[in-house]
């Protein structure tokens, strides 16, 4: 289990850094200015997603939780959205008008990390089945 978690942390860290760099490079090349910190958005998603994935992996080692992993993951997704709303209330939710580029820039990290979490959880479920 520890080996799986360490491999995931290394892969996840490299993936997060690469995703952020590509996203930031694209914004700079197109001269798009955001009214929020893209680095903070990526950091939030990275920390929370890493925590979710590690907890799912740990819980998968208990037979009593294994059958419920999908539901547990779904619950953590909603908790993640609530935490995002709490942490980024001022920079994101008090802005009256977002440009379409800013809306897309907020959604890209969400979908990147959602996809990564889903792949990780599916791999855990498939390995144990």
pLDDT for 41-95, tens place per residue? 999 999 999 999 888 888 888 888 888 888 888 899 899 989 988 888 776 666 6
Checking if the pLDDT of 102 tops 80, the result is: yes
Phi-psi region of 9 (alpha: psi -120 to 50; beta: other; left: phi over 0): alpha
| Model pLDDT, residue 44 | 93
**pLDDT of 101:** 87
> What is the pTM assigned to this prediction?
0.85
Task: Using DSSP, state whether 10 is helix, strand or coil.
Answer: helix
For residue 119, what is the DSSP state?
H
Q: What is the mean pLDDT of the chain?
A: 86
> Which tokens in the block code for residue 38?
């893209």
How confident is residue 14, by pLDDT bands cut at 50, 70 and 90? very high
Q: First and final CA of the chain: distance in angstroms?
A: 16
* Mean pLDDT of all residues in 107-113: 91
pLDDT class of 39 with cuts at 50, 70, 90? very high
């Amino acid at each position: 289990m520890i080996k799986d978690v360490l491999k995931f942390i290394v892969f996840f860290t490299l993936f997060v850094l690469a995703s952020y760099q590509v996203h930031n490079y694209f914004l700079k090349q197109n001269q798009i200015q955001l009214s929020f910190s893209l680095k903070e958005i990526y950091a939030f998603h990275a920390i929370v997603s890493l925590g979710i994935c590690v907890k799912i992996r740990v819980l998968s080692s208990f037979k009593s939780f294994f059958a419920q992993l999908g539901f547990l993951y779904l619950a953590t997704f909603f908790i993640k959205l609530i935490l995002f709303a709490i942490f980024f209330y001022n920079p994101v939710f008090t802005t009256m008008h977002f440009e379409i580029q800013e809306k897309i820039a907020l959604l890209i990290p969400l979908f990147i990390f959602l996809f990564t979490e889903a792949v990780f959880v599916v791999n855990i479920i498939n390995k144990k089945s």
